[in-house]
A and B are shown apart, each in its own frame.
Chain A
């Protein structure tokens, strides 16, 4: 009985998480008329590709490219900076507990509502002449991604035994060699996991792209999706089709990178 209840609970939880995704997929394939009149019916009576046709006829493919490029660049920059930062924070002793103060400050920035930092960031980016540019947005996204990456990598680097590095040092490896040939491979699974989450953060970011981008050809996907939910109503078909299509690159990327993640764990490197 207990086993049966356990199974039922598990399936109910799975259903809870999967149902919105199923609803998104089903709605994306309904015709506009059926969306309005479907009532509680989940699956479309007749598969319709009209929402996808309308979507792909517009600037959607371009926006996918924009979003992917910005999310990857923001993640690349964050990983680079956070890798060195996390290493320094783990391996070096700072006077007056400055390392802890720094980590706390980073955490506070991450916890702040983004709108609080939006105004000073806007001013800064404007003075740098980077408003309405992808590079400007990549720099702004560091507010989200950098603290996250530092905190994630901190744990992974902390788990690398110091003795391995000391052995490399005794063999004559200087700091950058140790970082490149010892620390980096050992925390590769951590870097991959961090990269996946960081890309997702960048992919879903809305506020900064809303405020810092003002020409439609540089828009990102979340900005585009927001236009389907208006005061006059919600274009459910297009919204769900856009949601479905825009989640595919992330799913593919996560799936591809997961192989490396699993390989890293299975090799027992960590």
Chain B
């Protein structure tokens, strides 16, 4: 801890030697925006000479805005908040500035930090992990015990448990996000990986037309019968409400920002009942999906040293602890996951840290956004019963092959 404090202090000291700087940060809206605002306020307390402008954007708007700015080398932004799936595009275009060795710290959970290195895990870091998002699985222990069911270890167990609970209680067996695009893909990926399949193989080629992928999609489609009516248009709000009201026994995908209120008696009817763990696997080990939000310095920034000091501050253990406790932001540092205050507030954090350590990133391909959009369309068509699992995967495979070739 002392070393880390020294490191952050050293970075501050180096930035102090500069003239008063002005940082423009491209960030997100919602709780991410509130969290970043807190970091900015804390930073300015320590660096009163630094003027910081925080621009809060919706997620899609943030992507378009930073891409245009970096492509045109406007120097508009000094720090950007980015989803880890954007990194391949940003890095292959040399839009990000490499960070100094000083920012590296063994306290970071390696899966979350290494995702910011380029071109491989042994190379220089270009981004620091601020939000340690990892897709988890939620299940209601009380309901399981009422039905003499045990913790689901595989996706087959999930289906069997959902069937039993749906028959015996006035509760839906499970719930998930069925909205097309990113939500349905994000819900499906841990199942796909859990069956040993993937969207693209190690060579970067589309690999959806396989028996494993078909099994995974059939399992996913079978889940719909145990989900609430209208699940095809469910998004984060509906999943969270279903869990909090106790109207769904399981959620195949929950993100850390959705679950802090599960134990809050003011809004939750399932206080102490819910368990959060890594998603089950059908074959091999569970593959929780990483959704790390990183901070990076654009190559066209005019304040790189100050920006790097801000990155170090924003990802320091002290700030991560405050963000976890006050904003429910999942940390990326091991020490914070095991901090006594933090674990007292979020009893599932040890499991979440383990999931983060073994987490799997979405395919590191240049045009993942397009691939995700195609897969999302066909998943929803299959979910609506307009095509079979096999047809959906074959057609998605063909379309994705064309996109990857470009």
Contact = CB atoms under 8 A, between A and B. Distances in A.
A230 B26 CA distance: 16
A231 B236 contact: yes
A216 interface: yes
Contacts of B123: none
B107 to A, nearest CB: 28
In the complex, which of the residues A119, A122, A123, A234 has the most CB atoms of chain B within 10 Å of its own CB atom? Answer: A122
B74 interface: yes
Given A122-B72, A126-B74, A211-B61, 4 more contacts: A123-B72, A214-B77, A216-B54, A231-B236
Contacts of B236: 231-233
29 contacts: A118-B64, A119-B68, A122-B72, A126-B74, A131-B74, A210-B57, A210-B61, A210-B64, A211-B68, A214-B24, A214-B55, A214-B69, A215-B53, A215-B55, A216-B53, A216-B54, A216-B56, A226-B58, A226-B61, A227-B29, A227-B56, A229-B58, A230-B29, A230-B30, A231-B30, A232-B236, A232-B257, A233-B30, A233-B240
A132 interface: yes
Contact of A211 (B30, B65, B77): B65
A4 B74 CA distance: 64
Nearest to A229: B58
Interface residues of A, number: 21
A131 B64 CA distance: 15
Interface string B196-207: 000000000000
A233 B26 CA distance: 21
Contacts of A132: 76
Interface in B38-82: 53-59, 61, 64-65, 68-69, 72, 74, 76-77
A132 B68 CA distance: 13
Interface residues of B, number: 27
Interface in A116-133: 118-119, 122-123, 126, 131-132
A232 B59 CA distance: 12
Interface in B61-118: 61, 64-65, 68-69, 72, 74, 76-77
Contact of B64 (A123, A211, A216): A211
Nearest to B54: A216
B237 interface: yes
A230 B236 CA distance: 10
Q: List the 6 closest pairs (A to B, CB-CB), nearest first.
A: A230-B30, A232-B30, A227-B29, A210-B61, A122-B68, A230-B29
A214 B76 contact: yes
A227 B58 contact: yes
